[in-house]
Amino acid sequence: MNTDKILVGISSCLLGEEVRHNGSHKLHSYIVSTLGQHFDFRAFCPEMSIGLGVPRAPIRIVNIDEKIRVVGSKNPDVDVTDKLIESANQQRSWHKNLYAYIVKKDSPSCGMERVKVYKKDAPMRTGTGLYTQVLMENFPDLPVEEEGRLGDPCLRENFIKRVFIYKRWRDLEDEGIELKKITRFHAQHKLILYSHDQNLGRDLGKKLATIKSSEAEAFAVEYRSKLMQILRIPATTKNHVNVLQHIQGYLKKKLDSDDRQELSKLIDEYRTGLVPLIVPVTLLRHHFRKCPDPYIDDSYYMNPHPKELMLLNNL
């Protein structure tokens, strides 16, 4: 493991391992070449772990009398439901050290959503791969995403942002929970939360303000859960505009009329879809380099993830 990178679990086939039922792989170049610069991947194939081998007869999710089972596609007498559940639970010892997980879409073992569930041979896209389902039940705050959804710029940015925030929170936990640390963490991420859901972000801040130092450790569990729940809500253009205008207010007395008008124009052009989010953010970064503000400098809103990933360029 590269300790400078973030440890992320991944379906083995996405790294090019030939573990699919037909002996093929699903190497994902963006994951390997781009995310691989920042993530250290721990590969795992649940179907291989339960001894199905390569090549193997495919399996599928079925609904039998309203009970979900994973069985052989051609031979339904082959039932691997319990084995997949057991395998997922057996991996908890290393799952707990992960900061995210990327899974293979449509897989009856690894798919995160919209996996085919067969009822009397009629498929409905309502399922979750059994291994991934157990993983998410065991670690509900862990950022999990399918490789197929990483092709969507908004979903990709959302997932990667969650990974970096989850990593920062876990680092805080490792240092030792203190109320002042949670308070600073919230201040650093408050504007990000507002871009996802302003009401829930404010509610979390209000709840934090009522917590006593002696209650910090117990509250930390609730805080992490609500933090990750809010971040799973897609950020919207409207919320980003509100946050950008809020940040602009910190420069109200520091910019001349022309600079204020230029900034307001770019924020409005972002609102109407003429420019991506990175454009007003870049101008704000420029102004705050010249006119530093302690609160904004400590906030992650304008630098939520490494710049070289260029995730704000397509929002």
Q: Which residue has the tokens 């070289």?
A: 308
Please state the pTM of the whole predicted model.
Answer: 0.94
Task: Write down the pLDDT at residue 65.
Answer: 87
Beta-carbon contacts of residue 228 (< 8 Å; ≥ 6 apart): 140, 141, 143, 162, 166
Strand 144-146 to 101-103 pairing: parallel
Share of the chain above pLDDT 70, in %: 99
Rounded to an integer, the average pLDDT of 142-149 is 97
Q: Which residue has the tokens 């006593």?
A: 212
Beta-carbon contacts of residue 245 (< 8 Å; ≥ 6 apart): 267
Share of the chain above pLDDT 90, in %: 94
- pLDDT tens column, 60-113: 999 998 899 999 999 999 999 999 999 999 999 999 999 999 999 999 999 999
At residue 34, the 3 state secondary structure works out as helix
**β-strand partners of 122:** 119
Q: Please, what is the average pLDDT of the chain?
A: 95
CA diameter of the chain: 75
Confidence band for 6, pLDDT divided at 50, 70 and 90 = very high
The residue type of 146 is E
Rounded to an integer, the average pLDDT of 168-181 is 96
Bin 121: left if φ > 0, else alpha if -120 < ψ < 50, else beta. left
The region of weakest confidence among 52-66, 134-148, 213-227 is 52-66
Confidence band for 121, pLDDT divided at 50, 70 and 90 = confident
Beta-carbon contacts of residue 190 (< 8 Å; ≥ 6 apart): 201, 205, 299
Buried-exposed string 232-258: b where 16+ CB fall within 10 A, e elsewhere = eeebeeebbbbbbeebbeebeeebeee
Task: Write down the pLDDT at residue 11.
Answer: 97
Task: Write down the pLDDT at residue 4.
Answer: 82
Rounded to an integer, the average pLDDT of 265-287 is 97
Confidence band for 269, pLDDT divided at 50, 70 and 90 = very high
Confidence band for 120, pLDDT divided at 50, 70 and 90 = confident
Task: Write down the pLDDT at residue 23.
Answer: 87
Confidence band for 2, pLDDT divided at 50, 70 and 90 = low
Task: Write down the pLDDT at residue 3.
Answer: 59
> Quick one: how far is CA 217 from the chain centroid?
24
- pLDDT tens column, 177-207: 999 999 999 999 999 999 999 999 999 999 9
Dist. CA 50–CA 118, nearest whole Å: 22
